[in-house]
Amino acid sequence: MQFENLTAEQLEKVAGMLKAIAHPMRIAILKYLDGGKQLTVTEIHDLLGIEQSTTSHHLGILKDKGILLSKREGKNTYYCIRNENLSHLIDCVSKCAC
């Protein structure tokens, strides 16, 4: 779909997704999940070195905005990026910052 053809509702959704991504911890989460990886809250909080409740908060925001998917397996919930195109966006932003 071409950018010119996006409805106001679709533009609002995209803006909400970009706002959700625009946080250092959330960008880091997405980089850890890049390439189709699936990680639990515990694995992500260990990688980030922040409280598990803070990690859960950030994951909840990303999931709520349609950026992440979660899958429950036993006691664990695994998170992954919903759409591979989002990985391309994060990669592009990372390259622009360097």
For the domain that residue 31 is a member of, what is the CATH number?
Answer: 1.10.10.10
pLDDT band for 95, please (50, 70, 90 cuts): confident
Residues near 90 by beta carbon (within 8 Å), at least 6 away in sequence: 21, 27, 30, 31, 34
Q: Per-residue pLDDT averaged across 66-94, rounded? A: 90
What per-residue confidence (pLDDT) applies to 3?
A: 67
The Cα 53–Cα 49 span in angstroms is: 12
Q: Model pTM?
A: 0.87
pLDDT band for 2, please (50, 70, 90 cuts): low
Does residue 74 belong to any structural domain of this protein? yes
What per-residue confidence (pLDDT) applies to 93?
A: 78
Does residue 2 belong to any structural domain of this protein? no
Q: Does the pLDDT at position 23 exceed 90? A: yes
Cα angle value 79/81/85 (rounded, 5°): 175
The domain total for the chain is 1
Give the structural domain span for 59.
7-97
Element (H, E) at 76: strand 76-81
| Residue indicated by tokens 């391309």 | 88
